[in-house]
């Protein structure tokens, strides 16, 4: 239950419990103990709001630029996505999935570990939508294979939907959707057919889109119907919108590239996942 508070990963929280840092109703917790709604949970003596009813959770939508990494600390000193975010009220932001350094687009963050886990767990089959620019023209047989399934190193994978998004010359855009978060699965599927991906942008996650107004390095809070859509995708009850949960798109820090690049001739994803 303390994972819902967004304090850390499940492995980190297990280490805290083993170290005796967590108590439930005044008693030191042990691995395997269960807490119920209304129980008093403390970490290092500090009361933790587990957000059981989801009424206090927050979600950020962020436009990740190319060249920024999805780790909290990078040994090479590269800019991380967490450096661009506002300070959470408590706990910390949890990234809902990752994008590799060469992939840009929609990245979600939440202060609810429970929501993050629901959105990322394979059983939830939450749709991720990407705009992909490839070099060349795939044959109908290739597109059929990508839709039906291709054997990768870590198992069978496929696109749930593949939509032609136009292009000029040898550069062509497709919008594809997958319902899993395997590492680099979109790139690897195209590469399995000897097709080069020259640009990859995530433009949708869990029924949410990357809006044109949200330029690279900017973020905004989700609220209202969009938050309800995301909770529904995660199989959770709706949370009432907060009056202070809406914020304008934030300006990037000094030195960030403010230019917005559009992912192909048709950025709108009218054909969404099934």
> What residues are paired with 172 via a beta bridge?
134, 167
Mean pLDDT to the nearest integer, 81-88: 91
CA distances from 73 to 36, 139, 219 (A): 34, 42, 20
Domain carrying residue 122 = 53-274
Poorest-pLDDT segment among 22-36, 106-120, 162-176: 22-36
Tokens of 180: 């899993």
Domain match, 41 and 68 both: no
Active site residues: 100
* CATH code for position 29: 3.10.290.10
Considering the chain, what is the average pLDDT of its residues?
Answer: 82
Domain match, 166 and 88 both: yes
Domain match, 35 and 66 both: no
Mean pLDDT to the nearest integer, 189-212: 96
Q: What distance lies between CA 96 and its chain's CA centroid?
A: 3
Domain match, 127 and 10 both: no
Distance (Å, whole) CA 215 – CA 251: 9
Domain match, 234 and 270 both: yes
For position 236, what pLDDT does the model report? 84
Domain match, 59 and 176 both: yes
pLDDT at 38 over 70: no
Domain match, 89 and 147 both: yes
Number of domains in the chain: 2
Domain match, 154 and 41 both: no
* CATH code for position 191: 3.30.2350.10
Domain match, 13 and 139 both: no
Mean pLDDT to the nearest integer, 126-153: 94
Q: pLDDT digit string (tens) for 150-162?
A: 999 999 999 999 9
End-to-end CA distance of the chain: 32
Domain match, 108 and 170 both: yes
Q: What is the DSSP string of 169-199?
A: TTEEEEEEEES---TTHHHHHHHTTT-EEEE
Q: pLDDT digit string (tens) for 94-111?
A: 999 999 999 999 999 999
Mean pLDDT to the nearest integer, 205-228: 94
- Find the radius of gyration of the CA atoms of the chain: 20
**Higher pLDDT residue, 195 or 57?**
195
For position 81, what pLDDT does the model report? 95
Domain match, 41 and 60 both: no
């Amino acid at each position: 239950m303390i994972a819902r508070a967004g304090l850390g990963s499940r492995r980190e929280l297990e280490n805290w419990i083993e170290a005796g840092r967590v108590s439930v109703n005044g008693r030191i917790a042990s691995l395997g103990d269960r807490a119920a709604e209304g129980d008093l949970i403390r970490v290092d003596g500090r009361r933790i709001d587990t957000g059981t009813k989801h009424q206090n959770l927050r979600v950020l939508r962020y436009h990740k630029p190319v060249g920024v990494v999805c780790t909290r600390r990078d040994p090479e000193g590269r800019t991380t996505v967490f450096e661009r975010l506002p300070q959470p009220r408590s706990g910390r932001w949890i990234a809902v999935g990752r994008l590799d350094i060469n992939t840009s687009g929609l990245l979600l963050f939440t202060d609810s570990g429970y929501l993050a886990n629901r959105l990322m767990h394979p059983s939830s089959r939450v749709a991720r939508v990407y705009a992909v620019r490839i070099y060349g023209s795939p044959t109908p047989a290739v597109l059929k294979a990508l839709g039906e399934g291709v054997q990768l190193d870590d198992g069978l994978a496929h696109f749930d939907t593949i939509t032609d998004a136009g292009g000029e010359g040898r550069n062509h855009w497709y919008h594809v959707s997958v319902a899993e978060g395997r590492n680099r699965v979109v790139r690897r599927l195209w590469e399995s057919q000897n097709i080069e991906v020259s640009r990859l942008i995530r433009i949708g996650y869990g029924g949410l889109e990357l809006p044109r107004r949200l330029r690279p390095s900017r973020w905004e809070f989700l609220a209202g119907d969009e938050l309800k859509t995301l909770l529904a995708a995660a199989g959770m009850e709706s949370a009432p919108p907060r009056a202070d949960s809406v914020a304008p798109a934030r300006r990037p820090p000094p030195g960030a590239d403010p230019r917005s690049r559009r992912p192909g001739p048709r950025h709108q994803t009218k054909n969404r996942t099934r």
